[in-house]
Amino acid sequence: MMLEHVLVVSAYLFSIGIYGLITSRNMVRALMCLELILNAVNINFVTFSDFFDSRQLKGNIFSIFVIAIAAAEAAIGPAIVSSIYRNRKSTRINQSNLLNK
Amino acid sequence: MGLPGPIHDFLLVFLGPGLILGGIGVVLLTNTIYSAFSLGLVLVCISLFYILSNSHLVAAAQLLIYVGAINVLIIFAVMFMNGSEYYKDLNLWTVGDGVTLLICTILFCLLMATISDTSWYGIIWTTRSNQIIEQDLISNSQQIGIHLSTDFFLPFELISIILLAALIGAIAVARQ
């Protein structure tokens, strides 16, 4: 398993996550694309920890921290989306202007 | 330390197309529930990849937290909130989508050029030569546990406080 191939896969996941995060019109799909971006970061952490730092393993510890932050984000995100859905009956991003008035 | 050869090669052959097609499916599938299941496929493939790179604790954490908690929560949110409104999104291809696709393609090509230009194996040999001296006395999971309870003790506790505050905040926002 080459290091470059893993990095290319990680860069692919990162760019497609950013594309989906910008262009999606559904809030839940935007949250899914955010998970893709965090997973690309995690792949890089674990790969570099395995290749360069296989005794200390500090990249693994950082990836565990990133997973914990992603869990907190995935708890907050659907709660906010469901609160918006309860008020507006829609989860479209381009229609949510609750802070506008 | 690693898996035997045929299983390793089979997993590698399975992982690459799984990641690529799953990543496309998350963004491009029109029904949101299908893209949520596609995200589950991507997360399982990433967990198998962590097993291949000798990080078993992170693989278990990925499988438990991402697939078991986050993906189930996202599927629940999709089922809870989506009516029949995704049919209206079918023929919306605006200029902004094209510009974003161009920008993301340029970003991906730049990252690939940077990856192929860097000489990784020089870095690997300089760092590997320092590590050969130390003996492999304890396993990776024990090493992570020792680090979490000595060097990274304060971030570990802060992470737990952040998780507690996030869960309380999520409940308070969702039940009003």
pLDDT in tens, A23-45: 888 888 899 999 999 999 999 99
Q: Could you give the residue ranges of the DSSP H alpha helices within chain A?
A: 3-23, 27-52, 58-88
Residues A75/B166, Cβ–Cβ less than 8 Å: yes
Nearest-CA distance B60 → chain A (Å): 11
Rounded Cα distance between B9 and B7, Å, is 6
Tens of pLDDT, residue by residue over B113-170, are 998 888 877 777 776 666 555 556 677 788 888 888 888 899 999 999 999 999 999 9
pLDDT of residue B91: 58
Residue B37, Cβ neighbours under 10 Å: how many?
16
In a domain, B41, yes or no: yes
Task: Give the number of domains in chain A.
Answer: 1
Which one, of A42, A65, A24, A75, lies nearest residue B72 by Cα? A75
Residue B67 lies in a domain: yes
* CATH code where residue A86 lies: 1.10.287.3510
C-alpha distances in Å from residue B146, one per residue of A68, B69, B131: 18, 26, 18
Which of B19, B49, B83 is the last residue in one of the domains? B83
Beta bridge partners, B146, equal: none
Tell me, yes or no, whether A99 lies in a domain.
no
Say yes or no: A98 contacts chain B, CB-CB below 8 A: no
Asked, for residue B130, whether it belongs to a domain, the answer is no
Q: How many domains does chain B have?
A: 2
| Residue B25 falls inside a structural domain | yes
**What is chain B's length?**
176
Tokens linked to B31: 């029904």
Percent of chain B residues topping a pLDDT of 70: 85
Task: Let me know if residue A97 belongs to a domain.
Answer: no
**Between B130 and A98, whose confidence is greater?**
A98
Q: Does A43 touch chain B (CB under 8 A)?
A: yes
Quote the DSSP letter at residue B54: T
A35 neighbors A74 (Cβ within 8 angstroms)? yes
- Split at pLDDT 50, 70, 90, the class of A76 is very high
- Model-level pTM? 0.87
Residue B37 lies in a domain: yes
Within-domain flag for B43:
yes
| Torsion angles phi and psi, residue B92, rounded to 5 | -100, 95
Token digits for A97?
Answer: 């202007």
DSSP-derived 3-state class of residue A92? strand
Provide the residue range defining the domain that includes B170.
139-175
Smallest CA–CA distance from B90 into chain A, residue: A25
Task: Test B77 with A78 for CB contact under 8 angstroms.
Answer: yes
Say if the Cβ atoms of A79 and B169 lie within 8 Å. Answer: yes
CB contact under 8 A, A39 and B46: yes
* Containing structural domain, residue A19: 1-91
